[in-house]
Amino acid sequence: MSEDASEKAYNVLFLCTGNSARSVLAECVLNRHGQGRFKAYSAGSHPTGRVNPYALELLKHQNYPTGDLRSKNWNEFSGVGAPELHFVFTVCDSAASEVCPVWPGQPMTAHWGLPDPAAVEGSEAIKRAAFADTLRMLTQRLSIFTNLPLAALDKLSLQKHLDRIGQAADSSNSAAQ
């Protein structure tokens, strides 16, 4: 990326259509595990206007701060006063197929699609398990991402790593190698 890349904080935006579950979970995970190297945000193309109650319950249970979480439109991150984005990741297939706003600064982008836990039907236990599974998958992918040697990678190599993380199977693998 650049010489001073190891010293700067990277702004990362997670996108999903409704911005109520997957993107919000990713925002929380990266803000915790990014250890100040990353500042995560989330948004949606058609935000629901509220964070999914199962997502909030899980995050609270895992001791993530939830007080400032809200479902917001992705236009908040493309206008004047928006943070300069370094990475934009779509976490749902619907958002990945939509025409996104033009992000100032041309951030690196990748699609990290995950099943929608909010679409799972069944008992309360089944729904909670779907959210926990999504959180686990995001934590795994973001662990790989935060351990990439960003300062040492050129843009093409970095893009390959980002794409591999999104294609990673549901277990630790060689996506970062």
Strands of 83-135 (E only): list them.
87-90, 108-111
Nearest alpha-carbon partner for 47 in 80, 81, 14, 87? 14
Nearest alpha-carbon partner for 29 in 86, 83, 89? 89
What contacts 139, CB < 8 A, 6 or more positions away? 29, 33
- Known catalytic residues are 16, 92, 100
Identity of residue 169:
A
- Give, as one character, the DSSP assignment of residue 11: E
Secondary structure (3-state) at 12:
strand
